Structure 1
């Protein structure tokens, strides 16, 4: 029986929350971040730090600007993140010898070793998603296509 305070929606379906792609993406992102939190705490990283480390494990010794482009982050957001990672002994920042205006980021030996500890994270996420690898890969490609369309 409906609550005496509830009302029937007068909003058209196009304006209902559960019909909004933006809300589906937002709430899925919140759920994903919540899933990652304990996994990453176990290896001493926050979610944004994990993303930085993923890029560096893929391609070490890159410029801050290249890292920002890869993560869709501006330098104002990225610089404090990198400072914390540097203070943790995972990365080093240094001026590019060819162009002193550019700062390069490299992994330390500890940062490289952390990759081994992080290898369990994707498997845990896969298990919790109750989705097959091909399904997750297809979903990832769809979301990337959407992101790219929205940015152009």
Structure 2
């Protein structure tokens, strides 16, 4: 039996990733509170701006979000006039989501704060370690993508 189980648990990579996620969300919300925007909303606006209009299923596949989360985030963004939803003419069962001009403007205004968030998160690390951490996290995410409940499926 471990002499100090909590000390051991607090060094587990999974637990450290969870804690870092909590910290990342807290920093993002504090920095961006004036815009009332969450990380998920920002990522979704970014995906729509970069990829153009997408049906909600594809939007979820591009952002690693499940259907219910996508629907909730899109609804909140739509209520604020940041995206619009229309039936997809090619598949009447699907909703096509488009970023509005207001959504583009907000995303652009928030982008510098998002960079500040990243700087604050990485502040304890020297520049070389920041690059290494980013590379290692990407490798972990890419190699385990297939294990995710909602893996990212790249657009073709």
The corresponding residue for 1:4 is none
Larger radius of gyration: 1
Tell me if the contact between 1:40 and 1:47 (Cα under 8 Å) persists in the aligned partners: no
Q: How many residues align?
A: 143
Could you tell me the TM-score, scaled by structure 2's length? Answer: 0.79
Unaligned runs of 5+ in 2: 147-156
User: Over the residues paired in the alignment, what is the CA RMSD in angstroms?
Assistant: 2.4
Higher relative contact order (CA 8 A, sep 6+): 2
Could you tell me the TM-score, scaled by structure 1's length? Answer: 0.81
In the alignment, is residue 10 of structure 1 matched against residue 3 of structure 2? Answer: yes
Task: Give the deviation of 1:40 after TM superposition.
Answer: 2.0
Classify 1:146/1:99 alpha carbon distance in 2 versus 1 (closer, same or farther; 3 Å): same
- Stretches of 4+ moved more than 3 A in 1? 131-138
Tell me if the contact between 1:95 and 1:104 (Cα under 8 Å) persists in the aligned partners: yes
- In the alignment, the residues of structure 2 paired with residue 71 and residue 23 of structure 1 have an alpha-carbon distance, to the nearest angstrom, of 23
- In the alignment, the residues of structure 1 paired with residue 55 and residue 40 of structure 2 have an alpha-carbon distance, to the nearest angstrom, of 17
2:21 is aligned, of 18, 25, 29, to: 29
1:70-85 equivalence runs, <5 A:
70-85=62-77
